Structure 1
Amino acid sequence: MAYNQENLQAKENKPNIILILADDLGFETIGCYGNASYQTPRIDNLAEKGVKFNHCYAQPLCTPSRVKFMTGKYNFRNYEQFGYLNTNETTFAHLLKADGYATCIAGKWQLKGDEFAPFKAGFDEYLLWQITFTSYNERYKNPRVLENGKMKKFNNGEYGPRMFADFIMDFMERKKDEPFLVYYPMVLAHRPFVPSPDSKNYDSFKIANSGGSKDAITDTTYFKDEVAYMDKLIGELVDKTKELGISDNTLILFTGDNGTGKEVVSKMKDGNKIKGMKGATCKYGRHVPLVAYWDGKIEEGQVNDNLIDFSDFLPTLCDVAGVELPNGFMTDGYSFYPQMKNEDYKARDWVFSHFDCGKEKYPKRRMVHNKEWKLYENGDIFHISEDPLEENVLSLDDLNGNEKKLISTFKEVLSQLKSDQ
């Protein structure tokens, strides 16, 4: 297609987007959310100079979140099995690529497929761990990765997260004069918890067992090192936008894919301790950080208390990029871009989750909630603002009139979405 001058101008004005998804990182691990255990100054600074969303909800586990995140659909519509994304699904990368965006992904894949799977998912370039192979302990030191279809194994102390960030920054440098989408599903800070290159014993440290996840170490001593290095890499991406002169045309979004690993206990500034509950459908299994930063384009210091669901990211990215969803394209999400811009918007009244990951130890559960109350499909009611661990099941008799009306609304949502299956 030949572009006329007007088309070229429109293309040049399209904003770049850097979408960062940390691995196994609940909201409680980040300083600006009240954490006192780990160092996250660069993320905290993004929140201070942008928007901190206080109520973003993912799925309890990796693949259910990623499928929902990338396609904008509730899991019952297109989730098939753990570690898999059907290559016939339309992703946010497809939609932006079709509108002239250069697209890149680096980090964790774990969605199966052959060496062409990331290309089929809409990405022009990729450097990814765990596509055609399973290598639980090869994401960090001495990684094994696929780069644009070519398998590469490193054995001289190279650090996977460092390589992924460098790959992205090289892409940014090459594509700085055209609109680009970077999707950075980080491998940090998922176990194994091991030293980073900034740790004193990075060179000498060896993982005791190099088998699958059951053999991986669960000592959380180095979790803080992984979080610090994650924060450092995010800071480098921010600095790169300034170096390239594109910071005022680049939106950066940071979130996590599910709650923190169960081994991790984080101390908060208020003295409380929060245990990671990855895999659980309660607050500490699904509540993740979400920070948005756009140099000079969104008001600094915003704190947003509205509900955000992982299905909202696809329509939000399209809204930012000025991409209209194709006729007939179905999404369960709503753009939260107007909220960043302080424009008129309608906030979510509730968040729905269908969690059926395909693993026996995680039973199927469907639920609707807002910031105060939650209803499961089996009828269990929880006052989640007072009972985040969901230890006390309530009945309708325990509720006042307004609360009963709210639960009635939640029942209608569950019924409607069940009929959509």
Structure 2
Amino acid sequence: MSTNRDKLSSSISLFTTGLVLCTALCSVITATSDKPNIIIIMADDLGFDDVSFRGSNNFLTPNIDALAYSGVILNNLYAAPMCTPSRAALLTGKYPISTGMQHYVIVNDQPWGLPLNETTMAEIFRENGYRTSLLGKWHLGMSQRNFTPTQRGFDRHLGYLGAYVDYYTQSYEQKDKGFNGHDFRDNLKSTHDQVGHYVTDVLTDAAVQEIEDHGSGNKSQPLFLLLNHLAPHAGNEDNPLQAPADELARFDYIGNETHRIYAAMVSRLDKSVGMVIDALARQEMLQNSIVLFLSDNGGPTQGTHSTTASNYPLRGQKNTPWEGALRSSAAIWSTEFERLGSVWKQQIYIGDLLPTLAAGAGISLDPELHLDGLNLWSALKYGYESVEREIDHVLDEDLEEPHLSYTRGKWKVISGTTSQGLYDGWLGERVTSEVDPRSEEYEDLIRNTSVWQQLQRVSAGERNISELRDQARIECPDPATGIKPCMPLEAPCLFDIDADPCERSNLYEEYQNTTIFLDLWARIQQFAKQAHPPNNKPADSECDPRFYNNEWTWWKDEQRSSSGTIVGMKEVSFFLIFILTSRWIL
């Protein structure tokens, strides 16, 4: 009798335990399934004027434009002026000076990365139930395995670890050192399956597959997908701009061959955006998704890695303190937004995206993260434009080229510059004689894209495309204060960015002794005192891919081999070391 009672008691206990576990599991599933999928598509070195929703008809980007007109055009999204600082700000929600990522970029042969004590966006979203996937570029450190994406919060990574690769061979060549190696991985494993395939297509196909796999088998778990394209960044020096022949043929009307290839590269990127939206629609994931498109910085029109990118009508280009380096052509879409089909003029920094998207996902962030980024979700959701944003764009105290760029509200301060001011002018232009033939029926082109049609199905509403396009243009009339030159190597410069977005009228002499400028300058000095020292380290010749089977790899964790065989340092047994040492002694 007691045995039966014990069995009954045990069964009730097991049932209760199971019920508790089921309840807990169900609550987790419910909590995660309510969270939106977050899809970020980031272009690399895309010029501010290289998306046609800004008004250019030189070559068109119908899918990106359709996303922009259907959603919210972020007219004042600011990024850092270069790849590594910008990506660090995105993933940490902090200024580069807060993490030591402010000086230049990580060159493949340099042994440093995003500090390991920094929490990434991917870690935060994964901790809150998301599947996290990075497809494409990393560029936040590769000399150690624990610098790499799957060690920093991403469940999946397919792509390259360094600065850029060839579009077909996925190799990176560092000519000044004589280094050349393959750089493409599926998680931690090097993969050559994609060699010979155009990398924009490779990453697009991977994104589509990720969405389809997720939608068909894992909808209860939200997806965080960061699609970091190589396009339209230049590849290796010997063949920097590459595009598939079928894409190139669409732009025969462009006379300059380099610019023709560049247009085709951007066009292929545009098609990628369309395919990602289509995949989300097929899997019925659009209704519960936030989709963001942006560039990591402005385009390089001239000089190193130049591509003919245009930041018209803004001043400067990539790796300068001017608007042409800092302003990103960006758009975001979600059914949560109350003003879809609008141009949002609120200043927003790339480091704001972490707290803003986290808020959109209902994630409460730990105050101990000490983010520099602001949560602008409510302002974005309801279309408010009243937040005065302070942005430390760049503060680099490098002895050779000290320079800074800082904005508070409408006021912007610049002091010092890069490349001795060689790229401080207005470099972009619109070639009005070379017009994409499709521009004659521009509105019909946009409305006939699958992107427009898919987004309209879940968020129908009238959109005045012509009006939105006009609102997204940046106009540069002659300043009311007159054109006053800025010589940032001689004295600081002050601009009213609201009235003078093209930075043509330097107001420093007028305001240098006023409270306005002195307060701005005092704040800059405060940032300088608090800045984290740059993490940059000198090049390390031990990285040479020839030592590691012609692969770019985490050389600090590997033992070099003249035969090209990779031997993991941690995998070499003490016994083997003992035997080898003994033989040497004998």
TM-score range, shorter chain: 0.7 to 0.9
Q: Distance in 1 between matches of 2:128 and 2:194?
A: 40
Distance 1:321 1:359, change over 3 A: farther
Aligned to 1:167: 206
Normalised by the size of structure 2, how large is the TM-score? 0.62
Q: Distance in 2 between matches of 1:278 and 1:380?
A: 19
Distance 1:277 1:343, change over 3 A: closer
Kindly state the Cα deviation for residue 8 of structure 1 after the two structures are TM-superposed.
Answer: 2.0
Matched, 1:364 2:402: yes
Matched, 1:91 2:112: no
CA distances 1:303-343 after superposition (whole Å, capped 9, x unpaired) = 11111111101111211121111241111111222233107
Bigger fraction of residues in helix: 2
Q: Distance in 1 between matches of 2:285 and 2:27?
A: 21
Q: Distance in 1 between matches of 2:44 and 2:310?
A: 19
Whether the 8 Å contact between 1:49 and 1:300 is mirrored in structure 2 is yes
Deviates more, 1:376-385 or 1:143-152: 376-385
Kindly state the Cα deviation for residue 41 of structure 1 after the two structures are TM-superposed.
Answer: 0.7
Kindly state the Cα deviation for residue 367 of structure 1 after the two structures are TM-superposed.
Answer: 2.8
Whether the 8 Å contact between 1:72 and 1:311 is mirrored in structure 2 is yes
Matched, 1:40 2:40: no
Tell me the amino acid that sits aligned with residue 289 of structure 2: T
Residues matched between the structures, number: 394
1:239 to 262, 273, 278: 278
Aligned to 2:293: 254
Q: Distance in 1 between matches of 2:227 and 2:118?
A: 19
Tell me the amino acid that sits aligned with residue 252 of structure 1: V
Normalised by the size of structure 1, how large is the TM-score? 0.84
Aligned to 1:65: 86
* 5+ residue gaps, structure 1: 203-217
What aligned pairs does 1:6-405 form with structure 2 within 5 A after superposition?
A: 6-80=27-101, 82-83=105-106, 84-113=113-142, 114-115=144-145, 117-131=148-162, 136-138=164-166, 140-143=167-170, 144-154=183-193, 157-176=196-215, 177=219, 178-191=221-234, 192-196=240-244, 198-199=246-247, 219-263=258-302, 264-265=307-308, 277-295=317-335, 298-342=338-382, 347-356=387-396, 363-370=401-408, 372-376=410-414, 379-384=492-497, 390=503, 393-397=506-510, 404-405=514-515
SS of 1:288 mapped into structure 2: strand
Kindly state the Cα deviation for residue 285 of structure 1 after the two structures are TM-superposed.
Answer: 1.1
Q: Distance in 2 between matches of 1:155 and 1:161?
A: 11
Kindly state the Cα deviation for residue 48 of structure 1 after the two structures are TM-superposed.
Answer: 1.0
Deviates more, 1:390-399 or 1:288-297: 390-399
Whether the 8 Å contact between 1:262 and 1:275 is mirrored in structure 2 is no
Tell me the amino acid that sits aligned with residue 349 of structure 2: D
Kindly state the Cα deviation for residue 10 of structure 1 after the two structures are TM-superposed.
Answer: 1.4
* 5+ residue gaps, structure 2: 1-19, 107-112, 171-182, 235-239, 251-256, 416-490, 532-586
Whether the 8 Å contact between 2:346 and 2:386 is mirrored in structure 1 is no
Q: Distance in 1 between matches of 2:314 and 2:521?
A: 30
Kindly state the Cα deviation for residue 165 of structure 1 after the two structures are TM-superposed.
Answer: 1.6
Tell me the amino acid that sits aligned with residue 84 of structure 2: T
SS of 2:369 mapped into structure 1: coil
Tell me the amino acid that sits aligned with residue 151 of structure 1: S
SS of 1:381 mapped into structure 2: strand
Distance 1:69 1:6, change over 3 A: same
Q: Distance in 2 between matches of 1:359 and 1:243?
A: 54
Kindly state the Cα deviation for residue 414 of structure 1 after the two structures are TM-superposed.
Answer: 1.6
Whether the 8 Å contact between 1:56 and 1:307 is mirrored in structure 2 is yes
Bigger fraction of residues in strand: 1
Tell me the amino acid that sits aligned with residue 241 of structure 2: F
SS of 1:193 mapped into structure 2: coil
Name which structure has the greater RCO, CA cutoff 8 Å, separation 6+: 1
C-alpha RMSD of the superposition: 3.0
Q: Distance in 1 between matches of 2:70 and 2:324?
A: 26
Q: Distance in 2 between matches of 1:170 and 1:246?
A: 14
Tell me the amino acid that sits aligned with residue 115 of structure 2: N
Tell me the amino acid that sits aligned with residue 190 of structure 1: H
SS of 1:331 mapped into structure 2: coil
Kindly state the Cα deviation for residue 238 of structure 1 after the two structures are TM-superposed.
Answer: 0.6
